[in-house]
Amino acid sequence: MMDYDKLISKKCAKLKPSGIRKFFDVAAMMEGVISLGVGEPDFQTPWAIRKAAITTLEKGKTVYTANPGLIELRTEVANYLNRTQGITYDPAHEIIITVGGSEAIDLGIRSLIDPGDEVLVVEPSFVCYAPIVELTGGVVVPIETKVEDKFKLTAKALREKITDKTKLLILPFPNNPTGGVMTKSDLEEIAEVLRDTNIIVLSDEIYAELTYTGEPHCSIASLPGMQERTLLVNGFSKAYAMTGWRMGYLAGPAPLVSQMLKVHQYAIMCSPTVSQYAAVEALRSCDDEVKKMTNEYNIRRRWLVNALNEIGLECFEPEGAFYVFPSIKSTGLSSEEFCERLLYEHKVAVVPGNAFGESGEGFIRISYAYSLKHLQEAVKRIKEFLDEIKK
Amino acid sequence: MDSLLKLLKQNARLSNGELATMLGMTEQDVAARIADYEKRGIIKGYSVIVNEELADNNAVTAYIELKVTPKADYGFDELASKIASLDDVESVSLMSGAYDLGVTISGKNYKEIAMFVAQRLSTIDGVLSTATHFILKRYKEKGIMIEDEVSDERGLVSP
């Protein structure tokens, strides 16, 4: 008999499985559940991009690319960062095409962190940062963001958590799950704290195209003195509705990128070739498609925020990504209780806020990557649930 | 297209208040803009998309291709408006390609439509020939799925 428990590495065994998995497995078995739980667009990938992939297959271009990715694609990424952020990256030495933004995050953390190094993780945030840090033996130091600050990172909160051991700050804006964004002036305060340190920022900007205030997304790398201390992570999943293509990238200082390329080439070799050609097309011709989708998200966002406030779920107005993060504190339930009961009793699936870090307790994440009709039905059910609780 | 028109095309029953919320406008501005569109004839009316099969199982719709002789001074317009003025006609369009006018007609049954084409349409002066196509089943109309909704391939939850 194999003793598998003995085989699993201690670090892996210690990783917490996602706390929400269990009852969503139950949800999958239930009839008539409507979900507001996904973190991916409901749009299809724009046709021009799909067409480019089909053409690539027809031409039989199915071999490995260079380890860091097609030079055409790295050049297009550099052009994109230049036209949107005004920053210049050398496509030959400062950009790696990765398997989704996820691999870029993994590369960033694994190539920098030794056991005992401290990593500041802004929370609530996407679920993968802390587990990857734990696998490297690093120490996760959460920095809580608050609804009163519009879920922004403040200079004060950052300063309080910096120690001699701090190596990396993970800065995920526009934020999943809160929808919070950092404007140029917000970022300037953070940059001011970091400029005198040897800390690297891993800026996860996967939702960069999805902002709704009229002020376009600003990358911290674009601020004076910050490009040399920033690993910029972005990708194609959210903006171009390309989640299944697994296309992301990392841009940063050459001395770091060259090290990360080693990890990438041993673990991955290169990102999927067909997806890379498709991504070239995305950057060359799909600005209008992105705008169209963003506009649609914005309409839903305005409707949903208003509808949730009307039924009594107090709701911070998100300015980016495609999530609303209402407080459920008035119900007296914990996030998990709320989500479980909403699922079992009213068949709506949403994600408990504490899945994104302890500071998410008391909130739930509702995705508006759904049609208005779908959102309307879901809100109706949530209202019925709230009315029942109040009785 | 204008976001307001797009929303109304998807669902003309949204209230001005709902439209205002979605577009980040005031209710008064929405009302004024709709009134302006109506006045300028950009909005011609508000209609409903019906699953005819469920509403009345016998009702039939046909699409008729007409070849016609254009009149010297009026082109196709005179004939087209003459056909459009017939009560049973739902739509009339001038087409490029193999025929000239595309006409849709609904009737209580196949026979009613056949008689309409034979007695009313083909006899109009200037109509050279007709080809009638009956609609057997509708899948999507004006952007709305008639039968099944497109299924959501995504899981119930993802981070």
Same domain, A186 and A217: yes
Whether chain B has a CB inside 8 Å of the CB on A311: the answer is no
Domain finish residue from A284, A316, A338:
A284
Same domain, A197 and A216: yes
Same domain, A255 and A316: no
The model carries a pTM of: 0.91
Determine how β-strand B127-134 pairs with β-strand B60-68.
antiparallel
Q: What is the pLDDT of residues B5-25, one digit of tens each?
A: 999 999 999 999 999 999 999
Whether chain B has a CB inside 8 Å of the CB on A126: the answer is yes
Q: At A201, is the secondary structure helix, strand, or coil?
A: strand
Average pLDDT for A26-37: 88
What mean pLDDT is reported for chain A?
A: 96
Closest residue on chain B to A297 (Cα) = B22
Query: Between these two residues, B54 and A194, which has the higher pLDDT value?
Result: A194
A215 in a structural domain: yes
Q: How confident is the model at residue B74 (pLDDT cuts 50, 70, 90)?
A: confident
A118 in a structural domain: yes
Domain ranges, ordered by start, for chain B? 3-39, 52-137
According to the model, what pLDDT value does residue A305 have?
97
Q: Tell me, which fold does domain B52-137 have in CATH?
A: Alpha-Beta Plaits (3.30.70)
Domain count, chain A: 2
Q: How confident is the model at residue B93 (pLDDT cuts 50, 70, 90)?
A: very high
Whether chain B has a CB inside 8 Å of the CB on A37: the answer is yes
- CB contact set of A191 (below 8 Å; sequence gap of 6+): A220, A223, A224, A225, A226
Same domain, A301 and A371: yes
Per the CB < 8 A criterion, the answer to whether A134 and A11 are in contact is yes
A55 in a structural domain: no
Cβ-Cβ contacts under 8 Å between A and B: the total is 53
Q: Which helix (H) or strand (E) segment is B79 a member of? A: helix B77-84
Same domain, A85 and A190: yes
Per the CB < 8 A criterion, the answer to whether A85 and A317 are in contact is no
Which residue range(s) make up the domain with A295?
A: 8-45+288-385
Same domain, A267 and A191: yes
A50 in a structural domain: no
A391 in a structural domain: no
Contacts of A24 in chain B (CB under 8 A): 155-157
Same domain, A322 and A270: no
Domain containing A350 — which CATH number? Answer: 3.90.1150.10
Tokens of B80: 């087209």
Domain finish residue from A219, A252, A284:
A284
Same domain, A335 and A374: yes
A83 in a structural domain: yes
Contacts of A20 in chain B (CB under 8 A): 157
Contacts of A176 in chain B (CB under 8 A): 159
Q: What is the ipTM of this complex?
A: 0.79
Same domain, A276 and A308: no
Whether chain B has a CB inside 8 Å of the CB on A101: the answer is no
Determine how β-strand A348-349 pairs with β-strand A364-367.
unpaired
Same domain, A30 and A175: no
Same domain, A88 and A236: yes
A87 in a structural domain: yes
Closest to A75 measured CA to CA, from A61, A89, A55, A85? A89
Beta bridge partners, A143, equal: A122
Contacts of A27 in chain B (CB under 8 A): 156-157
Q: What is the pLDDT of residues A139-172, one digit of tens each?
A: 999 999 999 999 999 999 999 999 999 999 999 9
Whether chain B has a CB inside 8 Å of the CB on A39: the answer is yes
CB contact (8 A) between residue A28 and residue B7: no
Q: How confident is the model at residue A19 (pLDDT cuts 50, 70, 90)?
A: low
Domain containing A246 — which CATH number? Answer: 3.40.640.10
Same domain, A268 and A350: no
- CB contact set of A307 (below 8 Å; sequence gap of 6+): A375, A376, A379
Among A2-11, A76-85, A103-112, B56-65, the range scoring the smallest mean pLDDT is B56-65
Whether the bond into A177 is cis, omega within 30 of 0: yes
Average pLDDT for A251-256: 98
A214 in a structural domain: yes
Whether chain B has a CB inside 8 Å of the CB on A128: the answer is yes
CB contact (8 A) between residue B157 and residue A127: no
Domain finish residue from A261, A284, A307:
A284
